[in-house]
Amino acid sequence: MTTGNSRLIVVSNRLPVSFRHEKGVLKVEPSSGGLVSALVPILREHGGTWVGSPGIAGLGEEGGSNQPEEAEVERLLSESHDNAYSYLPVHLSAEEQANFYEGFSNEIIWPLFHDLQSRCRFLPRYWDYYQKVNCHFAEASLKAAKAGDIIWIHDYQLMQVASTLRRKRPKSRLAFFMHIPFPAPDIFEKLPWRKEILEGLLQHNLVGVQTLRDERNFIACVRSFLPEARIERHGDKRIVTHNDLKTSVQYFPISIDFKQFSDTAQKKSVIERAAIIREELRDSHIALGVDRLDYTKGIPERLRAFSGLLRDYPDLRGKITLFQIVVPSRETIVGYQNLMAEIERAVTHINGEFGDTSWVPVHYLHRSIPREELIALYRAANTALITPLKDGMNLVAKEYCAARSDNDGVLILSEFAGAAPQLRTGAILVNPYDEIGVAGALNRAMHMGRDERRTRMSRLRAGIRRNNILQWRDNFFAAME
């Protein structure tokens, strides 16, 4: 680890635990998503402070807080906190949450950066709240950090935090990692605040993105919208000089704790549970989908491809089951509620059309799954069907391979997932918009021989074992030095 004696302050929109109200009681549960699963092992090993929101908002009025509830959140946080690191919660009012999180983050940046610009609502007030809430995060980070500490800011919700930090503490060591894709200039240019966003990012000493494609897009955007910036190449990284500040820009494909997944997958209880799942599904070919509920994950498109498979290859009916897990997410946003209804209609339709007394074509779970049960499902599944329309990385693809310590299983992966360049030699790559192509890939996976499956899976596992999350962290901190 190369952070020397400096402490690590991680800043992300969400803490690794989130709160919600259930029947009048405050409940705490692990947060979902790739960011949390990647960063927890790092903080556990390194220690430090995690600054983030507990996920529930306070009262409606601007700046309104709900002090008794905030105190309760803090009490529960101190109880649930990991001994290795501490939490520093940033409390938001309902209005801030609505405009910063649901609005700017998830109705502008999220769809735009996933190339889905027609879903964007460019409301000017969203931008005002985004800046204001980013200031709250900056102030909390200043409370947590001493001079010399590394402040490591994460993801698209917090692209303006560094502007305040740099103003208040000019010598801060600031790093940023973008977990989602960075769009090409012809998409990014739609953003009314494109210059401000780039200038905010260029306040960091290091900006990390997921893939070479994202690095090229980021640099192309800087060239187009900040033409006064100077860009040089230094080995693997680009150095952007803007307003006398130098920022390194580099890509670091994020990963998982390979060993933990692989070891858990070899536990007797997990192997037994996988066998039970297979038996319960009558040894049919299990194609597994695991996604946060999100329109970028391509779930309706996947269901259409599966329906096409059953229509076009009638001999496969009764022999294949799609096991689709959808982890609830962003439930207060209308687009997400509509998506859930669309998925449920499609599942009902497929089961109604093709199912019979002995076979349910699609098993659909709408909830999060405990880690060991998920790993048992990975082991039980013959194929992982991971077909996002666009994805920063997609750690489920890597988790599936890490769990296959038996060197079996086929990975079907979207060519638009950030993981595709790393996993292309072992996976079957598909275009998620091409329903016939996805159905064909499933048919191919079903008929793939044991030797080919073994060769492909060993290759996938070797790559992920090497490029694991600790390697990712070391590369990132080495670049920070």
Query: What is the binding site for ligand F6P (CB under 6 A)?
Result: 13-14, 32-36, 155, 179-180, 329-330, 392
In the bound state, the residue with its beta carbon closest to ligand F6P is 33
Distance (Å) of CA 422 to CA 123, 210, 348, 391, 461 = 37, 11, 36, 14, 11
Distance (Å) of CA 233 to CA 208, 226, 230, 237, 357 = 15, 17, 10, 6, 63
Q: What secondary structure does DSSP assign to 5-30, as a single string?
A: T--EEEEEEE-SEEEEEETTEEEEEE
Q: Which is nearer to ligand F6P, 180 or 442 (CB)?
A: 180
- Distant-in-sequence, close-in-space partners of 126: CB < 8 Å, separation ≥ 6: 99, 100, 103, 104, 107, 108
Q: Which is nearer to ligand F6P, 14 or 136 (CB)?
A: 14
Q: Which is nearer to ligand F6P, 392 or 440 (CB)?
A: 392
The H or E element containing residue 129 is helix 124-144
Cα–Cα distance, 452 to 367 (Å, whole number): 34
242 is catalytic: no
> Quick check: 404 and 286 in contact, CB under 8 A?
no
In whole angstroms, how close is the CB of 444 to ligand F6P at the nearest point? 30
155 is catalytic: no
Catalytic hit among 155, 214, 257, 391 = 391
Q: Which is nearer to ligand F6P, 32 or 471 (CB)?
A: 32
Q: Residue holding tokens 């906190």?
A: 81
In whole angstroms, how close is the CB of 75 to ligand F6P at the nearest point? 23
Partners of 412 in the β-ladder: 385, 428
In whole angstroms, how close is the CB of 336 to ligand F6P at the nearest point? 10
In whole angstroms, how close is the CB of 253 to ligand F6P at the nearest point? 14
In whole angstroms, how close is the CB of 199 to ligand F6P at the nearest point? 22
Instruction: Give 245's DSSP letter.
Output: E
Cα–Cα distance, 432 to 66 (Å, whole number): 44
Q: Which is nearer to ligand F6P, 173 or 179 (CB)?
A: 179
Tokens of 232: 């040089």
Q: Which is nearer to ligand F6P, 14 or 238 (CB)?
A: 14
DSSP-based three-state secondary structure for 215 = helix
In whole angstroms, how close is the CB of 35 to ligand F6P at the nearest point? 4
Catalytic hit among 179, 204, 242, 285 = 179
The H or E element containing residue 450 is helix 450-466
Distance (Å) of CA 211 to CA 181, 218, 306, 420 = 8, 11, 29, 10
- Distant-in-sequence, close-in-space partners of 137: CB < 8 Å, separation ≥ 6: 11, 51, 90, 153, 158, 161
Tokens of 229: 């910036």
Q: Which is nearer to ligand F6P, 13 or 382 (CB)?
A: 13
Q: Residue holding tokens 């709240």?
A: 129
In whole angstroms, how close is the CB of 403 to ligand F6P at the nearest point? 21
Q: Residue holding tokens 């905030």?
A: 70
Q: Which residues are tagged catalytic? A: 179, 391
